Amino acid sequence: MHPAQNILMDQCRVALVGSPNSGKTTLYNKLTQSNHKTVNYPGSTVDYHMGKIAKTHGPDVTLIDTPGIYSLSPKSSDEEVTLKLLYQDPAPNLVIATVEISQMARQLLLVRQLIEANFAVILAVTMSDQIQAQDVSLEPLREALGVPVVLLSSKTNQGVSNLLELVLKRTTLLPTAPRRAATWEEKDFETYVALNKEIVAQVFAKGIENKLAKTTLKLDRVLLHPILGSMIFCISMFLLFASVFWAATPLMDLVDAFFGYTANSIMSLEINPLLRDFLGNGIVASIGAVMVFVPQILILFLGMSLLESSGYLARACTLVDHILSRFGLNGRSFVPMLSGYACAIPAMMAARSMPSKKEKFLTLMILPLMSCSARLPVYALLLSFLFLGQPAYKPALALGGIYILSLLLGLLASWLLSIMLKTQHTSFLIQELPYYRMPQARAVLGQALSKTWSYVTKAGPVIFLFAVVFWIATTFPNTQEEDPVLQLQSSYAAKTGKIFEPLVQPMGGDWRTGTAMIAAFAAREVFVSALALVFQIADEDEASIQKGLLSKMETATNAKGEKLFTFASVMALIVFFMIALQCMTTVGVAVKEFGGWTWPLVQLFVYTGVAYFLSVGMFQLLKHI
């Protein structure tokens, strides 16, 4: 309403702080009435989120959702985010400390540290729907800690208005200057855990039955079983990726056909030919290039949030830890790596929850090798060219092979790097396994949508901009030329492409492939739309962009009259796209996550260099077959 107020620093700020998986984000969504992701995986919030508390009256209150911490001495960079927020100037006026009702004995340790550090604390006991409210007495908690306590059930909204009232009453408080919490000795932990257990015993004086714990125990005996558990893990991963391909294909075809149709309708309009070409070939084709892989990314994120919110993802990390640790990684690398199959950008952010600096570094290093969904349109095009007119299972199998190969490449890179970097580091896996819960459809969908949306908004504009620049480069300066082929050959793009032609020729391309490959450095999927542009397919009377492109690719010849797209040159392109780091948005995020330019540039040049030499080798090897 008053945008100026948002920048005022003197408004009331309330921080939500608590152990991982203690219900902070659920509470945040309740209080701000936003639809932020909530998942059942420790460490799923890696950055803080701010929002206005939704209410009918009173002053503006900003609520901050923070990554979970176990104590005030951080061990990973997502925990540092919370600590920085707590100790920045001005400090938050108020801290809502969340504690899950069944985990109080452990999680109250953090609350004690917060109180000791002089923060104004309101204790929120969450997820009380696990038990009957009348069986719990909060008095012992209030007495022992000396802070207001609220019992919350986010499912039934119980206690939310109560908490809101408490917060509003305290907004007049000045920010309290926090002290550094005294570092606890080992004895302190022992004493406080014992004290917490006494309190818990009083809170549940009537006795409770924890059904979730019972089902969790039963399920873990199966899902974490050495043999059975590994089998279930493999099957669930297979199902996840299979559904990404099979369920997404019809949706992708639909999106593709829609944009192909729109481009064609624009091309048949009776307007200025330059404007018509800009709209059809420039704008619509570029938007199409961004949108066509959205179904895929959405389905992978849907599957992931389903696994996350059920509590299985934390188990999956445990199951793969032993294998990943052989390559210098950690079980916790699993979540970033899996996200990497959708997009490297959220994946790099997910790596923040890794405690060991070296393992986090290795994970960040290999993430660009994971076969992200932006490569998919490229593979889809190249594979359907290779297997033109053959049964559909063949390209699907080849694609599966590419995915597995990219995982193996990543492991190889990590292993090589871990040998080269002989730094001492403490590696550990102390992974909390949350109770299994029934995933909530709304939350799962909301999370998948928000991740997909953040991808579209982060990578979309860059891709779009490059595509428009690319259109200009292919159209100008010779706009008066009637013959599109001649116009293209005298364009800026062709001139640039011809400079790079000697580089591309050893891998079986000519200036047109070269131009498309340069364009792909904005984002990989631009390769497809760039090819579409250099081959002028929107002029064709074809149902979809892809079909038009395929028929053009079949007949394309280079200057010597040889076929441009052969088995060898397409294989060389696939190899190049598997390894090269071609996504400038990823480099940008990597600079932030590595905390400097050195390693992102190493990634950019080493991966692209290796990709180039391997693909040249591939072409030279295969061209005589």
Partner 1 sequence: MAIAQIVRSLPLCKTHLRPSSILAPLMILILNIMDMPTLNLIGQDRPRLIQTVLAKPVITERLFEMGIVPGEMIEVVMKSFVGGPVIIKIHGTHIALRTEEAACILLKTF
Contacting residues toward partner 1, per CB under 8 A: 70-71, 73, 75, 102-103, 105-106, 109-110, 184, 186, 189-190, 193-194, 210, 213, 216-217, 220-221, 224-226, 229, 314-315, 317-319, 321-322, 325, 331, 355, 426, 428-433
The residue (of 110 and 369) whose beta carbon lies closer to partner 1 is: 110
| Distance in Å, CB of 20 to partner 1, minimum | 10
Measured from the CB of residue 215, what is the shortest distance to partner 1 in angstroms?
Answer: 12
Residue with smaller CB distance to partner 1, 71 or 474: 71
Amino acid identity, residue 421? L
> Measured between alpha carbons, how far is 296 from 246 in angstroms, rounded to an integer?
10
Q: Is 245 helix (H, G, I), strand (E, B) or coil?
A: helix
Give min distance, CB of 577 to partner 1, in A: 35
Residues 6+ apart with CB under 8 A from 316: 233, 236, 307, 334
Q: How far is the CB of 104 from partner 1 (least distance, A)?
A: 9
Helix (H) / strand (E) containing 379: helix 375-386
Instruction: Name which of 179 and 322 has its Cβ closer to partner 1.
Output: 322
Q: How far is the CB of 75 from partner 1 (least distance, A)?
A: 6
- C-beta of 192 vs 500, nearer to partner 1: 192
Beta carbons within 8 Å of 236's beta carbon, 6+ residues apart: 307, 312, 316
- Dihedral sign for Cα 520, 526, 532, 534, please: negative
Report the residue number, 76 or 546, with the smaller CB distance to partner 1.
76
Q: Confirm if 549 and 528 have CB atoms less than 8 A apart.
A: yes
CA separation for the pair 461, 455 (Å, rounded): 10
For partner 1, which is the closer residue by CB, 20 or 377?
20
Find the shortest distance in angstroms from Cβ 424 to partner 1: 11
d(CA 372, CA 406): 10
Residue nearer to partner 1 on the CB measure, 193 or 456: 193
Q: Burial-class residue 528 by CB neighbours within 10 Å (0-12, 13-18, 19+).
A: buried
Q: Where are the alpha helices (DSSP H) in 88-159?
A: 104-116, 139-145
Is the Cβ of residue 118 or residue 325 nearer to partner 1 in the bound state?
325
Q: Are 184 and 159 in contact (CB under 8 A)?
A: no
Q: List the Cα angle 459/463/466 in 5-degree steps.
A: 145
Question: How far is the C-alpha of 501 from the C-alpha of 328, rounded, in Å?
Answer: 39
Please, what is the minimum distance in Å from the beta carbon of residue 389 to partner 1? 46
**CA–CA distance, 364 with 587 (Å, rounded to integer):** 11
Identify the bridge partners of residue 125 per DSSP, sorted by sequence position: 99, 151
Could you tell me the smallest distance in angstroms from the CB atom of residue 213 to partner 1?
A: 5
Q: How far is the CB of 119 from partner 1 (least distance, A)?
A: 18
326 or 592, CB closer to partner 1?
326
